[in-house]
Amino acid sequence: MVKLDEIQKRLIEEIADLHNVPDGAYNFRANGELAGRNTTANIDIVSKTDKSGIDIHIKPGTKKESVHIPVVISETGLKETVYNDFYVGKDSDVVIVAGCGIDNCGVQDSEHDGVHRFFIEEGAKVRYVEKHYGSGDGKGQRILNPVTEVYMEENSSMEMEMEQIKGVDSTERITKAELKAGCRLVVKERLMTHGSQHAVSTYDVNLNGDDSSADVVSRSVARDESKQVFNARITGNSKCSGHTECDSIIMDHGTILAIPSLDAKNVDAMLVHEAAIGKIAGDQIMKLMTLGLDEKEAEEQIISGFLR
């Protein structure tokens, strides 16, 4: 049974695209407490006994199943750290949907720090979706600091979609990954900051096995007085291929610092980085304005397409 009020249901819709209780395994967390849980024959969810968090066990060979583990906070002043471990069995193929939404209408800061560790067995495939969202008209901040650690066995793959588009005042995202032979990691980050918000994204990927590969791409928009830092480091310890890219739009008085870093420790490591920061081109705005949009509408249309 899922116990959520109307505000919490709206937050769930924003971060997990859920309008109803999902099929399959799920664990809903609201204001620091368990709000609902379901397991399946192939996916088990167990509460930790030594600290706050859960262990998710996915049996080998599990196909076309999903796990939803959204977190919502609608209480001002609540601060928590949660530890979630995922054990993904050999040759499985699953979707994991996480994320956190904070609605803060009070004067105290609300904060969720989530530490997720993934242990992905040989040949397994994981698609991981993590969305962050903030709302509320209070003076208290909405703070999210996720840590993600990924440990991949041979010939496994993981696709990560990390999205933060609205309402988060402060975030420091740290992602670390260790890849063995034949592994493939793809990261797609979409980020927008506004007001006086700041966001730091740090990626540290180690390509340890032959024929492993990583593609870490960030698209971001910094508006108003907001600040962003993108720091991506790919280390090639073997015959491997790695690519990192930061593509950003800067507006108003925003600031963006991009620090792509490559560390080749093997003669057969093929590593590439790209970084581009700029404003919206005037001809793009003019073209849309000739179609009937005003300048603000044209900007929003361009940003929406850029972050898609």
DSSP letters of 207-256? E-STTEEEEEEEEEEE-TT-EEEEEEEEEE-SSEEEEEEEEEEE-TT-EE
| pLDDT value at residue 217 | 96
The overall longest dimension of the chain from CA atoms, in Å, is: 62
| pLDDT value at residue 280 | 87
Distance CA(218)–CA(187), nearest Å, equals 8
Distance CA(154)–CA(87), nearest Å, equals 15
Answer for the pair 202, 196: CB distance below 8 angstroms, yes or no. no
Put simply, whether the predicted model's pTM sits higher than 0.85 gets the answer: yes
Whole-angstrom CA distances from 254 to 128, 141, 154, 202, 225 are: 30, 19, 42, 19, 5
Pairing of strands 93-103, 63-68: parallel
User: Looking at the chain, how many residues does it have?
Assistant: 308
Distance CA(57)–CA(244), nearest Å, equals 31
pLDDT in tens, 139-187: 999 999 999 999 999 999 999 999 998 899 999 999 999 999 999 999 9
Cβ contacts of 292 within 8 Å, gap of 6 or more: none
308 residues of the chain, pLDDT tens digit each: 577 888 888 888 888 887 777 889 999 999 999 999 999 999 999 999 999 999 999 999 999 999 999 999 999 999 999 999 999 999 999 999 999 999 999 999 999 999 999 999 999 999 999 999 999 999 999 999 999 999 999 999 999 999 998 899 999 999 999 999 999 999 999 999 999 999 999 999 999 999 999 999 999 999 999 999 999 999 999 999 999 999 999 999 999 999 999 999 999 999 999 999 999 887 887 877 787 888 888 888 888 888 88
| pLDDT value at residue 17 | 82
| pLDDT value at residue 61 | 98
Pairing of strands 53-58, 93-103: unpaired
| pLDDT value at residue 287 | 77
Whole-angstrom CA distances from 290 to 81, 125, 295 are: 50, 46, 10
| pLDDT value at residue 1 | 52
Distance CA(192)–CA(171), nearest Å, equals 12
Answer for the pair 60, 92: CB distance below 8 angstroms, yes or no. yes
Q: If you write DSSP's letter for every residue of 165-190 in order, what string do you get?
A: EE--SEEEEEEEEEE-TT-EEEEEEE
Cβ contacts of 260 within 8 Å, gap of 6 or more: 230, 232, 244, 245, 246, 273, 274, 275
